[in-house]
A = this chain, B = another copy of it.
Amino acid sequence: MKQTARIFAVPPAPVSRLAKISKESTRDKVYAAVRGAILSGRLRCGERVKEIPLAEELGVSRAILREAMQQLVHEGLLEFNPYRGARVIELRPEQIDEIVEARLLLETRAVRLACERIHDAQRDELHALEKQLRKEKDALRAGQLDLRLHQRIWEISGHVTIEKLLRQLTSPLFAMSLLMRSAESRKDQEASPLPRGTHERLVASICEGSPADAAREIETHLTENWTAIRRRVAEFVARQEAEKL
C-alpha cells in the first residue's frame, strides 16, 4: 500500500495564470521534496542518500528519483560516485570562499537592479519580511527567512539569469550553514546570531533606490555572515581530520 504524495508539501494549487498551464511533473515534485529535505536539514551535509529507501518514502520509482537527483547534482547539492551512491555535498573552507566571492559579484549587480526596478507593493513586502526576520528568535527559521528575503530581492531585480545563478550558489552554502548550526554547541549558537542591522539597512537602501548604499550593505552583509561560517567550517573539518587519525 503506497502512500504517495504524503511527503510532498503540496502547494495550494498556485493560481494558474493562463500562460502557465504546465502542470508540474512528478519529477519536479520529487526534486523539490529532496531539495527541501536538504535545505531544511533533514538530509544533512555529507550524509549518504540511498535510492531505495528514499524512493519508497516518496512513493515513486527509483528512475524518477534518479532524474531528480541528477538535477540536484547539477545544482551542487549532491555528489555522485558510480556504484557508490550519492551524498549531500560537504564544502571545504576554500570552496566557501569561492562561492561567496561569486555570489558577491552577482548579488551586487542584483541589488543595484532591484533599486531601479522595485515597485511600491514590493517595498511593502520587503519591509514586512525584514520585520518578521527581526522578530524571529529561532536560528533555523531566521536562516530560512534570510534566504527568502534574498530570493525576493533577486526576483525584484528582474534579472532571471542572475537569479538562477544565485539560487544555485546559495543552496550549498545554506546546507552547510545548517550543518554548522547542528554541529556546534547551543552556547555558540546564542553567541552568533545573524547580524540583523544589515538587513534593515539593506532593505532601506533598496526601497529608497540608493544603489551605492545597497551594494555596500550587501557586501558587508555577505562578508560578515560567511566569514563567521567559514571559520566554523574550518574548525569542523580540522576536528574531523583529527578524529580520522
Residues of A within 8 A of B (CB): 22-25, 27, 63, 66-68, 70-71, 73-75, 80-82, 95, 98-99, 101-102, 105-106, 109, 159-162, 165, 168-169
| Distance between Cα atoms of A222 and B91 in the complex (Å) | 32
* A161 pairs with B74, CB closer than 8 A: no
| Distance between Cα atoms of A22 and B84 in the complex (Å) | 10
* B98 pairs with A106, CB closer than 8 A: no
Complex interface: chain B residues within 8 A of A106 (CB) = 102, 105-106
A contact face: mostly helix, strand, loop, or mixed? helix
| Distance between Cα atoms of A162 and B159 in the complex (Å) | 18
Q: Which of B24, B68, B71, B82 contacts A25 (CB 8 A)?
A: B82
Complex interface: chain B residues within 8 A of A169 (CB) = 161, 165
Pick the most buried of A70, A75, A80, A81: most chain B CB atoms within 10 A of its CB: A70
| Distance between Cα atoms of A99 and B106 in the complex (Å) | 12
User: Known: A22-B82, A23-B82, A74-B75. Is A102-B161 also a contact (CB below 8 A)?
Assistant: yes
* B161 pairs with A98, CB closer than 8 A: yes
Closest-by-CB residue of B relative to A102 is B161
Closest-by-CB residue of B relative to A31 is B70
Closest-by-CB residue of B relative to A160 is B98
| Distance between Cα atoms of A27 and B73 in the complex (Å) | 13
Complex interface: chain B residues within 8 A of A98 (CB) = 159-162
Complex interface: chain B residues within 8 A of A22 (CB) = 81-82
User: Known: A22-B82, A23-B82. Is A99-B161 also a contact (CB below 8 A)?
Assistant: yes
Question: When A and B form their complex, which 5 residue pairs have the shortest distance between CB atoms, in order from nearest?
Answer: A74-B74, A98-B161, A70-B70, A25-B82, A105-B105
